[in-house]
């Protein structure tokens, strides 16, 4: 029992000695003058934004001089090419029937009034029969009236008979004119109607023609197919390709800068290096609730028929005079991880200093520098990202 007590006293003395040594060390290591130990890392210095690369590395980094550049006050939008719907027609048969003959195919250029297809139409047969019967009745009543007028000169006929003959002839003439008007709806000319009335032969062939000059962009008609007015698909679709639409979706905040009739420059990937000119013809009156964009349409002349519907396109609308401002190539600006934009300024091409800049417009591969860089200052161009990575490695 006495030995256990002695062992516990030794352990307690050792622990007290250890605590005393720690306290003496703390006092000895504490800064003079009563200053406390630092509780956080020191603030970054300017050296952390500076990096020096080797001569070999410098060969992969181009150095450019910031220059004044004219930035246009303009609006860019992406869209697609479409048919000019004002000059697009789906050609239907005005009456039901079966296609007898097809006289054009997809891709053909057709003239206004050119026959696209013909239809065997029961309605046309009925209209032609009516023309023949009314023509015959008109001829009969006209002869009766003439004979009655000849007879009255010798007082061989009563006046009321003359009046009846005149009434019959006028009724027959009205019916005949109505029959001709009905055939005009089928596209028959006066010469066609005169021929039918004279020959008393029924053709029954309904000729469906192009409403204007253009190109057949789609054809669904084939001999023997039953066609009905307005039944999809249309037997023929004809488009005037002398002009097309460029349809774009513009951010709602930019619509206020647009006006009907404004000039636009349009580029398409299919025609590299070409700029097509047009004008705004329509600005949507509603905003898409899911994208918050507004449909804007411009009309573009295309006399050579080089544009195709659904081609991707970009249009540019100039909304003001050009602005002179400091500019650098887009590859000279580096987007940092926190979203800030930086350039790497240098004097000798070896030592680079990171500088935060504020960007404005981005046009033709140039970035407008609103703040952070002056004209004639030199900065890393091609290879700026390499310099940024070198600085990151140095910081680590």
- Name the segment(s) of the chain with CATH classification 2.40.30.170: 240-318
What CATH code would you report for 240-318?
Answer: 2.40.30.170
What is this structure's pTM? 0.60
What CATH code would you report for 49-71+322-395?
Answer: 2.40.420.20
Question: What local confidence, expressed as pLDDT, does residue 363 receive?
Answer: 83
The values of phi and psi at residue 60, to 5°, are -100, 5
- Name the segment(s) of the chain with CATH classification 2.40.420.20: 49-71+322-395
pLDDT tens, N- to C-terminus, the chain (396 residues)? 444 434 443 444 444 434 333 333 333 333 333 333 333 333 344 557 899 998 899 998 999 999 999 888 888 889 999 999 999 999 999 888 899 999 999 999 999 999 999 999 888 888 889 999 999 999 899 888 888 777 776 665 567 777 888 888 899 999 999 999 988 888 788 888 988 888 888 877 888 999 999 999 999 999 999 999 889 899 999 999 999 999 999 999 889 889 999 999 999 988 988 899 999 999 999 999 999 999 999 999 998 889 999 999 998 888 877 888 999 999 999 998 888 999 999 999 999 999 999 998 888 889 999 999 999 899 999 999 999 998 888 877
Instruction: Tokens for 200, please give them.
Output: 């008393």
Question: What local confidence, expressed as pLDDT, does residue 46 receive?
Answer: 54
Question: What local confidence, expressed as pLDDT, does residue 27 receive?
Answer: 33
- Is the CB of residue 380 less than 8 Å from the CB of residue 387? yes
- Name the segment(s) of the chain with CATH classification 1.10.287: 122-202
For 122-202, CATH number out of 1.10.287, 1.10.3210, 1.10.10, 2.30.110 equals: 1.10.287
């Amino acid at each position: 029992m006495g030995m256990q007590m002695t062992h516990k006293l030794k352990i307690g003395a050792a622990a007290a000695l250890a605590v005393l040594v720690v306290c003496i060390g703390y006092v000895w290591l504490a800064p003079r003058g009563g200053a406390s130990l630092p509780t956080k890392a020191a603030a970054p210095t300017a050296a952390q934004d500076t990096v020096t690369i080797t001569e070999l590395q410098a060969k992969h980094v181009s150095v450019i001089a910031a220059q004044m550049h004219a930035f246009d006050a303009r609006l860019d939008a992406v869209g697609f090419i479409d048919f000019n719907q004002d000059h697009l027609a789906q050609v239907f048969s005005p009456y039901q029937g079966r296609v007898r003959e097809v006289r054009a195919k997809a891709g053909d250029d057709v003239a206004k009034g050119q026959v696209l297809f013909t239809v065997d139409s029961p309605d046309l047969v009925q209209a032609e029969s009516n023309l023949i019967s009314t023509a015959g009745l008109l001829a009969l009543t006209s002869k009766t009236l003439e004979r009655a007028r000849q007879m009255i000169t010798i007082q061989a006929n009563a006046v009321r008979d003359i009046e009846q003959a005149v009434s019959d002839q006028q009724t027959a003439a009205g019916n005949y004119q109505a029959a001709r008007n009905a055939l005009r709806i089928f596209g028959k000319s006066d010469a066609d109607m005169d021929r039918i009335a004279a020959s008393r032969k029924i053709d029954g062939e309904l000729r469906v023609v192009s409403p204007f000059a253009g190109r057949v962009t789609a054809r669904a008609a084939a001999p023997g197919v039953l066609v009905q007015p307005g039944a999809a698909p249309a037997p023929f679709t004809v488009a005037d390709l002398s002009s097309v639409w460029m349809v774009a979706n513009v951010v709602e905040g930019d619509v206020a800068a647009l006006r009907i009739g404004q000039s636009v420059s349009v580029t398409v990937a299919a025609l590299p290096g070409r700029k097509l000119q047009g004008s705004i013809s329509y600005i949507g009156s509603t905003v898409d609730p899911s994208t918050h964009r507004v449909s804007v349409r411009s009309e573009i002349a295309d006399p050579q028929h080089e544009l195709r519907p659904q081609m991707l396109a970009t249009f540019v609308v100039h909304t003001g005079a050009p602005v002179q401002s400091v500019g650098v190539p887009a590859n000279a600006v580096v987007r940092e991880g926190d979203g800030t934009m930086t350039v790497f300024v240098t004097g000798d091409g070896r030592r680079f200093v990171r500088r935060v800049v504020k960007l404005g417009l981005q046009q033709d591969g140039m970035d407008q520098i609103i703040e952070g860089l002056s004209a004639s200052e030199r900065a890393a161009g091609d290879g700026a990202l390499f310099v940024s990575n070198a600085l990151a490695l140095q910081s680590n």
